[in-house]
Amino acid sequence: MSSKEQILQKIKQNQPGEVTELPDLNVLGSESFDVLKTYKKVLKSIGGDFAEVADYTQIIDFLKNSYALEKRIITTIPELSEIARLDWQNDDPHSLEDVELTIVKAHFGVAENSALWVTDALLGQRVAPFIAQYLAIIVSKKDIVATMHHAYDRIGNQEYGFGTFIAGPSKTADIEQSLVLGAHGARGLIVFLMD
Amino acid sequence: MSSEKTITHSEAATRFNQDTERVNWHDETLWFVREKRDKSAHQIQDWELLRETASKIKNNVLSNIHDYLVEFEANAQQNGIIVHWAADAKEHNEIVHAIMVKHEVKQIVKSKSMLTEECHLNEYLSQRGIDVIDSDLGERIVQLRKEPPSHIVLPAIHLKKEDVSETFHKHLGTEKGNNDPQYLTEAARLHLRDTFLTRRAALTGVNFAIAETGEFVVCTNEGNADMGAHLADVHIACMGFEKLIPQRKHLGVFLRLLARSATGQPITTFSSHFKKPRDGKEIHIVIVDNGRSTQLGREDFRNSLKCIRCGACMNTCPVYRRSGGHSYHNAVAGPIGAILAPNLDMSKNADLPFASTLCGSCTNVCPVKIDIHDQLYKWRQVLVKEGHTPATKTIAMKTMATVLANPVIFNMAGKSGRFVMKNVPALVNNKMNKWYDQREMPDVPEESFREWYKKNSRESKTDKDEQ
């Protein structure tokens, strides 16, 4: 008998006789709060930052003032081609090691934890938001949902190969519980909240 | 699992307690994490409802895990993921090794996986000439020191920054005496970045696997699992079969609970959902039993398989905080470790369920409502019945039972006890008697309560008045 058969047989024999019911999830996520205000507050509290912008021109202006534009900047958003490259998406992911800033869009954000949902379709390459020194994510203000329950309602049966929630910059507190931003992923996260 | 002699929890705890200042620091550091958890949990109006819901989902999983596993495998395979099954630690290690041999890879980068600690994968691979590098900062620190992690979420919580500085100076060439966490973290970032860029194989754990979609979720704050997996040709994800949840939407419940319970964060920085491999790359999942199906059959202890590895029970445990993770001599320490470990090896881990005051704090903070302290109590009974407790304890308990069951012997024992404690205290107050390790006994009363009652009760007074 294969290990699979052996394990499954033992599980069948040992699991409880009756299947217990799954709980109703609709009773959750009824908390009411100002989603945009909460989103901003939580993002700040976990080391992220935000800027409210009306259009891509304002994003370009902001980035020109805040980042070293002579370094390598990549994006998947054609509107930002003035300041960032678009031609890296089929390269070897290792070649992205010198990227200073990655700029991508998020499908939506979650107010209670400031997480942003991104998938293959928006990332260009899976490693792009992780390998860059800094990360900028654009999300529409109307696409902020309240809780994770709303987030998964929104995701539904969305098809993706890879998707991730990103909440703030990469961080660690493994040395004496001292919080340090920039563990292995981005050292900083700026979220552009678009009208 | 070997049954070789390990140092018992109480003995290891005694050693840990020799440095009072350090123990106090350890205690306070973990309590600080517990307080962060409280603050975070109290901000969620539905917190208790969330715990109850999570508990019910996990109960459903345990009652239907056979079908969920079959469903998960079929969906994962359809997504292009290669699924392996391992009955025990040995088979798990062999599978991982075989994948590496097939790809002719001699180096692997790992993110945190308590399962691979449980299976002693690092030792197994290094004995076969494979270089394993742990990429979680805390795990890298303890790996360089050749120590196991002392906590499932905070692997280096037992170390002070001076210790880390010393370790990094020795292995990574950092400045001697520079104890700045920012500086030390930066040094690890540079060292591990090179590792991520040069490893063709990456191994991660699994926080949740979804039957409905065949995807799995890995949560980290550092981004190390993603850096490893997205740069490697082969991604191996190892999971105990209890990591399954039925549907994607159930993640909403668990991701709200996990990080808040663990560190008080609203969510981990990254919650990555792996569904399909990149074009031309491979994802392997190793589904491991290693005693879990046995635990599933123990009705009293089955619920321990609901654990989502947040570590809240450790941070709150007065015994864990003052004895340290290493004293549990098991990959998973603390209260949850103490109910999981006897299932793996009853004889080797017989001391662990006794490493508790049964105060119940663990049960109160558990996000999936495992009755941890009840299970600790039940394990004690099983261990005594099966003869796994030390003879001294068994004899003492049996003697106590005889004394308490017989009023005449009880009386005599009381009298002689008081006499001995008063006149020859060295007979009881000595190294043989564990009760005196950290205690001073009160002054011995002149008479027992029974003797006092005989003199002072209403009946005896009435008797006297009548005389």
Taking contacts as CB-CB distances below 8 angstroms, the residues of chain A near B46 are 28-31
Contacts of B42 (CB under 8 A, 6+ apart): none
Taking contacts as CB-CB distances below 8 angstroms, the residues of chain A near B154 are 173-174, 177
Element (H, E) at A155: helix A148-155
- Give pLDDT, residue B464: 65
- Give pLDDT, residue B287: 98
How far are the Cα atoms of A122, B34, B243 from residue B173, in angstroms, in the given order?
40, 34, 39
Q: Indicate the pairing of strand A108-110 with strand A116-119.
A: antiparallel
Dihedral sign (CA B278, B279, B280, B286): positive
Residue with structure tokens 């002070």? B160
Spatial distance between the Cα atoms of B356 and B376, rounded to a whole number of angstroms: 8
Q: Which of B161, B252, B287 sits opposite A176 (nearest CB)?
A: B161
Give CA A37 to chain center in angstroms.
19
Q: Do residues A118 and A143 make contact, with C-beta atoms less than 8 angstroms apart?
A: no
Instruction: List the domains of chain A with CATH numbers.
Output: 33-194 (3.40.50.10420)
Q: Which of A16, A177, A184 sits opposite B223 (nearest CB)?
A: A184
CB-based contact A4 B263, cutoff 8 Å: no
DSSP state of B288: E
> Residues 124-163, chain A: which have Cβ within 8 Å of B?
125-127, 130-131, 147-149, 151-153, 155, 160-163
Instruction: List the domains of chain B with CATH numbers.
Output: 44-290 (3.40.50.10420), 392-466 (no CATH)
Residue B1 has pLDDT above 70, yes or no: no
Task: Give the pLDDT mean for B257-267.
Answer: 98
Give CA A97 to chain center in angstroms.
19
Residue B157 has pLDDT above 70, yes or no: yes
Following CA atoms A85, A90, A91, A96 in sequence, which dihedral angle do they give, to the nearest 10 degrees?
Answer: 50
Q: How confident is the model at residue B462 (pLDDT cuts 50, 70, 90)?
A: confident
Taking contacts as CB-CB distances below 8 angstroms, the residues of chain A near B278 are 126, 161-162
Q: Length of chain A in residues, anyone?
A: 195
Taking contacts as CB-CB distances below 8 angstroms, the residues of chain A near B343 are none
Residue with structure tokens 């159930």? B250
CB-based contact A151 B91, cutoff 8 Å: no
Residue B443: CB atoms within 10 A of its CB come to: 7
pLDDT, one tens digit per residue, over B168-186 is 999 999 999 999 999 999 9
- Give pLDDT, residue B2: 41
Choice between B214 and B5, residue whose per-residue pLDDT is larger:
B214
Q: Is B377 exposed, middle or buried (0-12, 13-18, 19+ CB in 10 A)?
A: middle
pLDDT, one tens digit per residue, over A61-76 is 999 999 988 999 999 9
Residue with structure tokens 């290669």? B82
Taking contacts as CB-CB distances below 8 angstroms, the residues of chain A near B28 are none
Q: Do residues B84 and B286 make contact, with C-beta atoms less than 8 angstroms apart?
A: yes
DSSP state of B295: H
Q: Which of B50, B135, B181 sits opposite A184 (nearest CB)?
A: B135
Residue B396 has pLDDT above 90, yes or no: no
> What would the two tokens of residue B109 be?
């980068």
Taking contacts as CB-CB distances below 8 angstroms, the residues of chain A near B69 are 8, 11
Spatial distance between the Cα atoms of B254 and A146, rounded to a whole number of angstroms: 16
- Give pLDDT, residue B3: 42
Residue B465 has pLDDT above 70, yes or no: no
Q: How confident is the model at residue B466 (pLDDT cuts 50, 70, 90)?
A: low
Considering chain B, what is the average pLDDT of its residues?
93
Half-sphere exposure of A66 (CA within 13 A, CB side): 16
pLDDT, one tens digit per residue, over B62-78 is 999 999 999 999 999 99
ipTM of model: 0.98
Contacts of B64 (CB under 8 A, 6+ apart): A15, A19, B246
- Give pLDDT, residue B81: 98
Give CA B35 to chain center in angstroms.
19
Question: Nearest Cα to B253, choosing from B112, B50, B15, B24?
Answer: B50
Q: Length of chain B in residues, anyone?
A: 467
- Write B52-55 long-range contacts (CB < 8 A, 24+): B52/A23, B52/B369, B53/A23, B53/A25, B53/A27, B53/A28, B53/B253, B54/B253, B54/B254, B54/B257, B54/B308, B54/B367, B54/B368, B54/B369, B55/B306, B55/B368, B55/B369
Q: Does A31 touch chain B (CB under 8 A)?
A: yes
- Give pLDDT, residue B418: 81
Residue B405 has pLDDT above 80, yes or no: yes
In percent, the amount of chain B with pLDDT more than 90 equals: 81
> What would the two tokens of residue B145 be?
């020191």
Q: Is A157 exposed, middle or buried (0-12, 13-18, 19+ CB in 10 A)?
A: exposed
Q: Do residues B336 and B307 make contact, with C-beta atoms less than 8 angstroms apart?
A: yes
Residue B439 has pLDDT above 80, yes or no: no
pLDDT digit string (tens) for chain A, length 195 residues: 899 999 999 999 999 999 999 999 999 999 889 999 999 999 999 999 999 999 999 999 999 999 988 999 999 999 999 999 999 999 999 999 999 999 999 999 999 999 999 999 999 999 999 999 999 999 999 999 999 999 999 999 999 999 999 999 999 999 999 999 999 999 999 999 999
Residue B253 has pLDDT above 80, yes or no: yes
Q: Do residues A163 and A156 make contact, with C-beta atoms less than 8 angstroms apart?
A: no
Spatial distance between the Cα atoms of B249 and B57, rounded to a whole number of angstroms: 11
pLDDT, one tens digit per residue, over B306-356 is 999 999 999 999 999 999 999 999 999 999 999 999 999 999 999 999 999
Residue B192 has pLDDT above 90, yes or no: yes
Q: Does A20 touch chain B (CB under 8 A)?
A: yes
- Smallest Cα distance from A62 to chain B, Å: 24
How far are the Cα atoms of A43, A127, B220, B271, B272 from residue A119, in angstroms, in the given order?
20, 11, 17, 12, 10
Spatial distance between the Cα atoms of B93 and B128, rounded to a whole number of angstroms: 11
